[in-house]
Chain A
């Protein structure tokens, strides 16, 4: 009976296990997508988006088929609630490539490595978890993220990033070089790696030749919250590159490109594990607007055949493949929204690889939507003593400001958040904060809505400034200055290549009232991850430049000189000290007098005796030894000169 029972139990257990596996298979998902967008300055943006999700492990067990195990372990070990890691090379050009769309808001990152993570641990363990996480990530991604471990390199923002739980840590490494060694581990997290699917396109030389390259990993899990509501872990991996097509096409015409000419590879098959793998080509609002205008002009002038909505008759460009569908964004009152053409790579194979081509027909110029203010940051002053950081923000005069804020002129305010980390060796005096609006100095308190400053502590913590400025909508320029002193470092605190200078990480400028999202007519599109990502409301964020502060740097060969001179000084000091202690003046005088009375050497004595005999004078004791000594000195000199002369003559004649 008991046997039967146990059998039954085992059977039940097995059954339940298989069931759970079934559920897992249903829930675990991987999708891939690529979004291409022509940019106004003859470049092309390629944005790869990979998303893997896993159901919560409490319900569905700890074994995954698709979701990378290393990330799962990371999440569980360090109780990560949300994390974002980005590796970036180059700068996002906000002026030309836009700063108001979802892609630039969430994928334009500062150069180097940026990492922030929020933990689901008690407050006092957050730093501990952060330190371990940085080490784990450092090993995982072959990068020196472990340098973020020290408390003087990361900070705890209060409200600038995501939640205000106080369990978030933020750190950047502006000098980290990004290369394939970071990409390969990142690709390993994908189920198909770069063997199939869209990741096949990641040809290293062409990716790293680009103008901007940012690989990002965003992880979100609510494993540790309320278990019933949790959706599990979601890992988003994106790679954003800006490339320039090599094809040459006249002066005015935008360059035409194809996937194979742009990247050097083409997709031959989809990753069989991915539930969807699509390619999107996006045409921005302003470009669509230009196209519509041209179309209208054409209709007006030619009064030609009525044109449909197809892309064949688009006056600006043509695509080599028919799109699976065309998705339109909801526009505003003046302009229609941007257009996405969707292509699927599923029906491609090795003999017929997916190779999209875009050909421009007419020259066109357009501009990308801009964030309300364009920020740049620079250093003021020169010399090794002090300087100032200035953040200047210029209005882009984009119509976004009017669109989102109320129409009442007096009440129109623009809220700008600034988050700035400053390393401790740049000693910022926060009381010197000055604000200029349109060139007029302002009392800063009037325009600051909220500010948190935590000054740096030498060798312990960074200085952090978080503030929200409230500027009138009509403002043209706003400038913020902060003065600082340059600190001195201990000789072993200097990093390698110290003479390059020291970095101040990028400041983050976020526009609290603005959200960058796209909204589509069709609500069902939310099921496609990349589209749902585009529809997500993300705050408009831009990063400023990294600053390079030249600090006083010692000559690192100096220790040798210092040792030499110190030893000399010590020798002199101790020599004279010992002399003073040991010498007895009376004794010495006695000794000297004794020496004076003593007779001269035997040879001189003999010579003087001899000469006295020769001269026939009585020999005297050498009292006038002064003259004798000087004469012997001259003799010595003469001998030396003679020997030297003989040697010189020898050299001269026998060579």
Chain B
């Protein structure tokens, strides 16, 4: 009986059996999963859903627009006044705010000036976890180069003043361009209309943001003061700084009418619209509208906000709505042929069963891919695509609307009428909203202004990509522990052998953390060109790596000689596991970064085999594998990856090495978590892969 039971081993539980099966076939599984992951990403434009307005209370377009051509011509008069001021020879940047303030008071709103200086940059990459402090901003104005925002508020006649809708028009107060004046004209015509209507339930704030120090800085400064006890609240008679050397009679006359420097507020913000007008004309036969939505760290506004804008623009005002796309992808042949392939499959499927409706026309597919790529890239970058990004830091849904007029100068009144009606309609919809935006999606990718991919679907691509990582790690670990050499003196120690590998991985990750800090130190050095900074960063990192390696290597050198046989397998197992953890963490913070990072990291980590092993075997398979490894490692290095993608998209002529430093620096300054990812996950994993490749045996 005992013999029989020894021969027939009891079957393990099914779930374990499946696990063991997958681990034993990890090569096949990982190949299939990786290819499926990439394919799933390419399929996203096909399975994208049409947008729909989820919140019933919004009711876009159910009320007819009230903005008349009189309002539009008022706006036109207003913009002509601004242009006449900007053409004046002496302009200190206070004339236009005064003019705006005068008009706001005439239309019955409340005004205040908000004086600010650009915020000095501090690196708070995880600020969005903590939120800005509720403290008090204490700062000293040096009064040399401040900007002046003009804030106009319409109080809702019957409203309770708990909520507000914000309209932002960035403009340069010293030298406004004609398109900036046009955007001010749009905002003014809407504002003067809204000060007369009786249906408002939320207050309207018009922020004419002084973009002398950048659009984002102006809006961010105003928001920061809105959410803190700012100097405008604390000191009453903060006079305009004397730096504006023309006090003039205008200032006093406006002041008497009730313009105060005291900060005015209007409740919790429900939504914000940034209105901009593009410099160039649209080039289409319609007026164009471009929507920017990405805020810092890939946060998006509620999809409903984009939906109402898109709905009203397309169905109400007949504008050509676009979201950003990568133009160079539009002419790529491989994408087009892929599109044709999926179209063909779709046709065949449809002929088999008319119920199966997938497959979109190839040009649509290419366009969807280009938009998706842009959406993914902008989210991955973690840098806001406009001044609306500042609002998202305070959990306010905001988007930038960039209008591009059909003709540059003529028919401005008509343009003002259309855009004003669109803005009015959006504000009216948001005004209808009883609760804050919560019905629709916050996690999505756009493939066109009216199509989106929600989180439930785009997760699949990422999950497929990273699914093989734990399998491969387990397979490698079991390989390493199984194939211990028979002459091993201490068999028990092999099971703990992975700890040495783990130590190496940990040390490299620690090195990554130090590398993260280096640019901050390099920034302290004055007058350094980007190229020099980049080289200094790379060399200091390399030196540091050498030192850490030497320090850690000296500790484990005595043991390593014996156990080197399969050490790289263990090292690879731990590296793969660390990559898996890093990618998973990053996907929680910023999905798009993790998705793009996984495209680079996963093949590199899975393929990594010491070159020496490949070269000693000298079969075509191993040589190809070695070549692949070298290629992947080359592409996976962050600077080369950046420069290659930049070159592929924009042509290799303009690619310079210091672009990478500028790019990294911008990530750092915008508090992007992507910077942390690159330095603390991607770079250490790349170094470990290189380490595996160069392994001695």
Tell whether A and B belong to one assembly: yes
Chain A interface (Cβ within 8 Å of chain B)? 41, 89-91, 93, 95, 111-112, 174, 208-211, 213, 251, 376, 378-383, 385-388, 390, 392, 394-395, 436, 438-439, 476-477, 479, 481, 483, 497-501, 503, 545-548, 550, 553, 585, 588-590, 592-593, 596-597, 648, 651-652, 655
Given contact pairs A380-B227, A436-B229, A211 touches B157 in the complex (Cβ within 8 A): yes
* Contacting residues, chain B, for A95 (C-beta < 8 A): 110, 258
Given A438-B235, A593-B4, 6 new contacts (CB under 8 A): A89-B158, A383-B132, A439-B231, A439-B235, A497-B434, A547-B162
Q: Are B435 and A548 in contact (CB under 8 A)?
A: no
Tell me whether A174 and B160 are in contact in the complex, defined as CB-CB below 8 angstroms, given that A383-B131, A477-B233, A588-B10 are known contacts.
Answer: yes
Interface of A is mostly: mixed
Contact with A along B1-28 (1 / 0, CB 8 A): 1001101101100000000000000000
B4–A550 CB distance below 8 A: no
Cβ contacts under 8 Å, B132 to chain A: 381-383
When C-beta atoms are compared, the residue in chain A nearest to B264 turns out to be A376
B352's partner among A89, A550, A651 (CB-CB below 8 A) is A651
**Inter-chain contact B395/A479, CB cutoff 8 Å:** no
Task: Answer whether residue B361 sits at the interface, using C-beta atoms and an 8 A cutoff.
Answer: no
Tell me if B234 and A477 are in contact (CB < 8 A).
yes
Neighbouring B residues of A499 by C-beta, 8 Å: 435-436, 438
B316 proximal to A (CB < 8 A)? no
Chain B binding surface, main DSSP class? loop
A548 touches B159 (CB 8 A): no
Q: Which residues of chain B from 189 to 243 have a CB within 8 Å of any chain A CB?
A: 198, 227-229, 231, 233-237
Residues of B within 8 A of A547 (CB): 162, 267
The reply to whether the CB of B118 lies closer than 8 angstroms to some CB of chain A is: no
A91→B155 contact, CB < 8 A = yes
Most A Cβ at <10 Å: residue of B7, B131, B158, B436: B158
User: Is B5 touching A593 in the complex (CB atoms < 8 A)?
Assistant: yes
For the complex formed, measure the closest distance between the CB of B596 and the CB atoms of chain A, giving whole angstroms: 28
Q: Residue of A at shortest CB range from B395? A: A382
User: Would A379 and B438 be within 8 Å (CB), given that A91-B155, A390-B229, A585-B10 are in contact?
Assistant: no
Is B617 interfacial (CB-CB < 8 Å)? no
Output the nearest chain B residue to A483 by Cβ-Cβ distance: B134
- Given A394-B262, A590-B1, are A381 and B8 neighbors across the interface (CB < 8 Å)? no
Q: Residue of A at shortest CB range from B260? A: A394
When chains A and B are docked, how far (Å) is the Cα of A550 from the Cα of B267? Answer: 11
Answer whether A546 and B160 are a contact pair too, CB < 8 Å, given A380-B228, A481-B229: yes
Q: List, in ascending order, chain B residues with CB within 8 A of A211's CB.
A: 157-158
Q: Which residue of B lies closest to A374 (CB)?
A: B262
Chain A: which residue is nearest B156 at the CB level?
A90
Flag if A390 contacts B233 (CB, 8 Å): yes
Between-chain CB contacts (< 8 Å), 20 pairs? A41-B108, A91-B155, A91-B161, A95-B110, A210-B158, A381-B133, A381-B228, A477-B236, A499-B436, A501-B162, A501-B436, A503-B162, A545-B267, A546-B162, A547-B267, A548-B163, A593-B7, A597-B4, A651-B352, A652-B351
Taking the closest CB of chain B, its distance from the CB of A620, in whole angstroms, is 18
Tell me the bound Cα distance from A381 to B135 in angstroms. Answer: 8
Residue from A93, A382, A477 whose CB has the most chain B CB atoms within 10 Å: A382
What B residues does A652 contact at CB under 8 A? Answer: 351-352
Contacting pair B395 A545 (CB below 8 A): no
Smallest distance from the beta carbon of B394 to chain A beta carbons, Å? Answer: 4
A477 to B134, CA, bound (A): 20
Q: Considering the complex, give the chain A residue whose CB is closest to the CB of B393.
A: A382
A209 to chain B, nearest CB (A): 6
Which of B1, B131, B155, B163 lies in contact with A381, CB distance below 8 A? B131
A-B CB proximity, top 3 nearest: A381-B134, A383-B131, A499-B435
CB-CB under 8 A from B352, the residues of chain A are: 648, 651-652
Other-chain residue from A90, A174, A386 in contact with B134 (beta carbon distance below 8 A): A386
B566 CB-CB contact with A under 8 Å = no
Chain A neighbourhood of B549, CB < 8 A: none
B353 within 8 A of A: yes
Pick from B4, B131, B159: contact of A90, CB under 8 Å: B159
A593 touching B8, Cβ below 8 Å: yes
Q: Mark B115-152, 1 if CB is under 8 A from A, else 0.
A: 00000000000000011111010000000000000000
- List A contacts of B10 (CB < 8 A): 585, 588-589, 592
Task: Please tell me if B265 contacts chain A, counting CB pairs below 8 Å.
Answer: yes
Chain B residues near A501 (CB, 8 Å)?
A: 162, 268, 436
Q: Choose among A211, A213, A500 the residue with the greatest number of B CB atoms under 10 Å from its CB.
A: A500
CB neighbours of A481 from chain B (8 A)? 136, 229
Which residues of chain A come closer than 8 Å to B155, judged between CB atoms? Answer: 91, 93
B386-421 CB contacts (< 8 Å) to partner A:
393-395
> How far, in whole Å, are A651 and B350 apart by their CA atoms in the complex?
11
Residue ID in chain B nearest A377 by CB atoms: B265
A90 proximity list for chain B (CB < 8 A): 157-160
A494 and B145 CA atoms in complex are apart in Å by 48
Tell me the minimal C-beta distance from A51 to chain B in angstroms.
Answer: 28
B136 to chain A, nearest CB (A): 8
The answer to whether A385 touches B8, judged by C-beta atoms less than 8 angstroms apart, is no
Using Cβ atoms and an 8 Å threshold, which residues of chain A touch B228?
380-381
Point out which of B234, B258, B351 has the most chain A C-beta atoms below 10 A from its C-beta.
Answer: B234
Q: Which of B278-334 contact A (CB under 8 A)?
A: none
Contact (Cβ within 8 A) B234 A548:
no
Query: Bound complex: CA of A160 vs CA of B256, how far in Å?
Result: 35
Cα(A498)–Cα(B438), bound, Å: 11
Tell me if A553 and B438 are in contact (CB < 8 A). Answer: yes
Question: A41 to B159, alpha carbons, bound, how many Å?
Answer: 18
**Complexed CA–CA distance, A112 and B158 (Å):** 11
Contact B268 A651 (CB under 8 A): no
Contacts of A590 in B (CB 8 A): 1, 5
- Asked whether A387 and B353 contact (CB < 8 A) given A547-B162, A550-B436, A590-B5, the answer is no
Is B233 a contact of A392 with CB atoms below 8 Å?
yes
CA distance A593 to B134 in the complex (A): 71
Given A387-B134, A596-B8, A651-B353, check contact A500 B434 (CB 8 Å).
yes
B268 touches A548 (CB 8 A): yes
CA of A545 to CA of B235, assembled, Å: 21
- Contacting residue for A382 out of B235, B394, B434, CB 8 A: B394
Chain B contacts for A381, CB-based, 8 A: 131-134, 227-228
Q: Is the CB of B108 within 8 A of A436?
A: no
Partner of A477 from B160, B198, B235 at Cβ < 8 Å: B235
What 0/1 readout, one digit per residue, does chain B (349-389) give for beta carbons within 8 Å of chain A? 00111100000000000000000000000000000000000
B residues in contact with A593, CB < 8 Å: 1, 4-5, 7-8
Which residues of B are found within 8 Å of A439, using beta-carbon distances? 231, 234-235
Give B388 Cβ to nearest chain A Cβ, in Å: 16
A500 touches B436 (CB 8 A): yes
B229–A380 contact, CB under 8 A?
yes
Q: What is the minimal beta-carbon distance from A599 to any residue of chain B, in angstroms?
A: 15
For B159, the closest partner residue in chain A by CB is A90
Mask, B575-594, CB within 8 Å of A = 1, is 00000000000000000000
